[in-house]
A and B are shown apart, each in its own frame.
Chain A
Amino acid sequence: MNRPDKQPVKSRLADEGYEPWENNRRIPLPVIWVAVALAVWGTATLLRDSGSYAVAQNERQSGETVAAEAPEGGEALFLARCSTCHQPNGAGVRLAVPPLHGSDFAKAGPEVVAQIMLRGIDGPIRVSGFAYDGRMPSFAAALNDGDIAQIASFVANRFGGTGAALEAGQVATLRAAQANKGSWQGGAELAALVPDLPTQPPMPAEAKPATDPAISALVFAGKSDAWSCASCHGDLGQGTENTPRLAGLAQGYIARQLRDFRQGERHNESMNSVAKALNDHEIHGLAAYYARQRVASAAQPALGGDLARGEQIALQGDWSIGVPACFSCHGPSGFGVAPDFPALAAQQPAYIASQLAAWAGGHRNNSPLGLMDRISEALPEADRRAVADYLASLPAVPAPEQRAEAKIDGGKDEL
């Protein structure tokens, strides 16, 4: 119907049954009902929301008071950064993680502690009469000079009984001096730093396997029907945004993901296509290559998640929603447990969050026993971002040594 036609319609109505009293007619009852119902609904929703707002406000305030009472400075940083391994009381873990309490290294003062933190340790070390298979990450990328100074001062004070304190400026000098030197090669190398150290165990001769040139070519150049790994995952497997960090993931884990991509059991267009071009030998070689890459963390919290909540989920879980601590399966420092529980430390936050969402939404299904499906479903979206950001703030995992790799080669790879 076009415009000119409208007028006659009106006139028709006027003709047929217009009564002047219709001008005074009430608003139709249903309209009033609708208005009243919507008003009641709106008011009730507003009231309910204001209740939630008040609760949230109270929680935030009580959280702030708790934060105000919590330990500060070096102690807080120690509890947040070091206590998953060395324990809140500095006692370490028997036969696994060296104690700090009364250790010669803590007694040697904050400068030594800071240098160990900057480079990490990779090799056998004797502390308080026990030998440990030292594997400590480098905190150089994860912490700034001020934080390292505070932690080192706290550790030397509390566990070594020294009165000296370190300034951020001194850490900057140490950082420059120790840059690009790699991890400390066990207690043997540290003995040069700490005089009068009891005999340290020798470094085992490490047989570095030469990288297969064909695998190297795959990583950096790709082949005819597959682009190179490095083009997305970075030159050293450090990953970026939604592309995961591969460096230091267990060989068995990487191999299984590649096979799952190849068979279409895990979905990602790029990876499905690349993996289809790989044979078993190449998958094995690539997994071995990335498992032994040691690269500083390139991940940063980037999703605006609540880091304190993320830390809580990672360390304690939230059992009220049936979520156990991430670290109860992925290892107490997020180092992973080969081959089924990948390392989480220093993983790209966007990748972690997207995988959690994929599990929750049923788009990723290759978690053993569906463990991650169930956990991801239980985590609200804000918690997923929080935990992803927290994991990104951790130092990178020291990649497994060749000895451990040989063990994986012999057995569990096929799991």
Chain B
Amino acid sequence: MSSEKHEDPGQGRSVKRLIYSVGGGLVLVAIGALALESDLLPTWISGRTTEAPAAQSAFFQPPSEDELPEGPFGEAVKRGRDIFMNTSTNAGEYVGNGLSCSNCHLDGGRQPMAAPMWAAWTRYPMYRKKNNQINTMEDRVMGCFSYSMNAQHSVSGGPPPHGSDIYRDLDSYFYWLATGAPTNVPMEGNGFGKVAKTEAGYSSDRGAQVFSANCAVCHGEDGQGQTDANGRIVFPPLWGPNSYNWGAGMAKIDTAAAFVQHNMPLSQPGKLSDQEAWDVAAYIDSHERPKDPRQGKGTVEENRKKSHDGDATYYGQVLNGTLIGVGTPDPARPVGAPDAPAGVTPPE
């Protein structure tokens, strides 16, 4: 007690100062918390990234499944959606490899940077160098059947003919996905985006390692994809007779690199560097796949000049002593042809 008596009169002031500083500190904390909660602080202070919502709002939002319209138009949209999601069944006569549109156009054609259909729909009719014509959406989808779906090995031997209901239903689906989108304006997130050319160029040898490390777990070390217990394709084949052919956009290294960089591995877009994306795309597209239907009876060299001029591709080049682009051997029977009457199991 006596010691307390010795405390100097300044103690009152220091206690006061203490009260002021603690009180002031509390006020600052409260104000700061309020500012943080209201997202008023710049991200370099708050450390909060607003990327996810920003990315979400930066792209066009197509309508959801709940908003499917009623009536004949709604029915057409549903049929179109079913064709899009399960092409090798619902348009099976014209699919020569078992794939579906949704294998590349992710999330049912909704995913930005995975060639979303809401962005594609609004750009047609447009001029395309590929066939030096004004293409309608129907022309364009016909190209998808011919190249990406390798319709030449299908039961019908080619894409659906012009005027087919398949185009009508697919168009209805695309049109519905593009509800509210501006016409004839390039939209953010269209196509697969681009990946800048790298200084080191592309190399299938380097790509082989990237593939092993990042792709093989799903698509298989042999690139032939994987199926579930029922034999249904879960991870699509990337080369070989059951993949897209040499006329597909994905057979061009730059297109494949953009798709890979922006979408693969699934759920980890951007994981691969630009260089890795180019290399792995080169590796994937250095493997033989079904013949380019545009080659006709000509040689690979002639078709390279005609159809692949200026493309980033190994088509027509000699790689490890082998000419690339001659095509995989034609299968004995079209994909999905009816079985022989006795009980044999279907191919593959």
Q: Which residues of A contact B (CB under 8 A)?
A: 5, 8-9, 12, 28-31, 33-34, 37-38, 40-41, 44-45, 48, 66, 70, 85, 87-89, 91-97, 99, 124, 126, 129-133, 135, 199-202, 316-317, 319-324, 328-329, 331-333, 335-337, 340-341, 368-371, 374-375, 378, 397-398, 400, 404
Residues of A within 8 A of B266 (CB): 324, 328-329, 371
Contact of B24 among A33, A126, A323, A340 (CB under 8 A): A33
Residues of A within 8 A of B348 (CB): 95
Q: Decide if B41 is an interface residue (CB 8 Å cutoff).
A: no
CB closest chain-A residue, reference B24: A30
Q: Decide if B243 is an interface residue (CB 8 Å cutoff).
A: no
Question: Nearest 9 pairs between A and B by C-beta?
Answer: A30-B23, A201-B343, A331-B228, A96-B232, A37-B30, A368-B217, A94-B89, A96-B231, A33-B27
Residues of A within 8 A of B110 (CB): 319
Contact of A322 with B267 in the complex, beta carbons under 8 Å: yes
Quick one: given A34-B23, A398-B229, are A89 and B82 in contact (CB under 8 Å)?
yes
Contact of A44 among B24, B37, B106, B345 (CB under 8 A): B37
B64-101 to A contact mask, C-beta < 8 Å, 1/0: 01100000000000110010011011101001001000
Residues of A within 8 A of B332 (CB): none
Complex Cα gap A70–B24 (Å): 57
Residues of B within 8 A of A89 (CB): 78-79, 82, 90
Residues of B within 8 A of A329 (CB): 218, 234-235, 266
Contact of B92 with A331 in the complex, beta carbons under 8 Å: no
B1-19 to A contact mask, C-beta < 8 Å, 1/0: 1001100000000000001
Quick one: given A130-B339, A135-B229, A374-B268, are A44 and B34 in contact (CB under 8 Å)?
yes
Contact of B78 with A88 in the complex, beta carbons under 8 Å: yes
Complex Cα gap A317–B65 (Å): 13
- Give the distance to chain B from A140, nearest Cβ to Cβ, in Å: 19
Residues of A within 8 A of B34 (CB): 40-41, 44
CB closest chain-B residue, reference A85: B230
Residues of B within 8 A of A316 (CB): 65, 107-108
Contact of B82 among A9, A41, A91 (CB under 8 A): A91
Contact of A132 among B27, B85, B346 (CB under 8 A): B346
What are 17 pairs between A and B in contact, CB < 8 Å?
A30-B24, A30-B27, A31-B23, A37-B26, A37-B27, A41-B30, A48-B38, A91-B86, A131-B343, A132-B346, A199-B341, A322-B269, A331-B229, A331-B232, A335-B230, A337-B226, A337-B227
Interface size on B, residues (CB 8 A): 65
- Give the distance to chain A from B238, nearest Cβ to Cβ, in Å: 16
Contact of B267 with A374 in the complex, beta carbons under 8 Å: yes
Q: Decide if B214 is an interface residue (CB 8 Å cutoff).
A: yes
- Give the distance to chain B from A294, nearest Cβ to Cβ, in Å: 12
Residues of A within 8 A of B185 (CB): none
Q: Which residues of B contact A (CB under 8 A)?
A: 1, 4-5, 19-20, 22-24, 26-27, 30-31, 33-34, 37-38, 52, 56, 65-66, 78-79, 82, 85-86, 88-90, 92, 95, 98, 106-108, 110-111, 214, 217-218, 226-235, 265-269, 336, 338-339, 341-348
CB closest chain-A residue, reference B102: A328
Contact of B217 among A88, A201, A369 (CB under 8 A): A369
Contact of A321 with B231 in the complex, beta carbons under 8 Å: no
Contact of B4 with A37 in the complex, beta carbons under 8 Å: no
CB closest chain-A residue, reference B215: A369
Residues of B within 8 A of A378 (CB): 267
Complex Cα gap A44–B4 (Å): 45
Interface centre among A44, A89, A135, A199 (most CB of B within 10 A): A89
Residues of A within 8 A of B66 (CB): 66, 70
Complex Cα gap A193–B4 (Å): 101
Complex Cα gap A87–B100 (Å): 13
- Give the distance to chain B from A99, nearest Cβ to Cβ, in Å: 8
Complex Cα gap A329–B108 (Å): 15
Contact of A400 with B27 in the complex, beta carbons under 8 Å: no
Complex Cα gap A331–B225 (Å): 12
Complex Cα gap A246–B341 (Å): 39
Contact of A131 with B86 in the complex, beta carbons under 8 Å: no
Residues of A within 8 A of B347 (CB): 95
CB closest chain-B residue, reference A90: B82
Residues of A within 8 A of B231 (CB): 95-96, 133
Quick one: given A94-B336, A202-B343, are A40 and B30 in contact (CB under 8 Å)?
yes
Complex Cα gap A124–B79 (Å): 29
Contact of B23 with A133 in the complex, beta carbons under 8 Å: no
Contact of B90 among A91, A202, A335 (CB under 8 A): A91
- Give the distance to chain B from A131, nearest Cβ to Cβ, in Å: 5
- Give the distance to chain B from A321, nearest Cβ to Cβ, in Å: 7
CB closest chain-A residue, reference B269: A322
Contact of A93 with B230 in the complex, beta carbons under 8 Å: yes
Complex Cα gap A37–B35 (Å): 12
Contact of B232 with A332 in the complex, beta carbons under 8 Å: yes
- Give the distance to chain B from A256, nearest Cβ to Cβ, in Å: 12
Quick one: given A45-B37, A317-B107, are A397 and B89 in contact (CB under 8 Å)?
no
Contact of B268 among A31, A85, A91, A371 (CB under 8 A): A371
Residues of B within 8 A of A333 (CB): 228, 230
Contact of A319 with B111 in the complex, beta carbons under 8 Å: yes
Quick one: given A44-B34, A201-B345, are A95 and B336 in contact (CB under 8 Å)?
yes
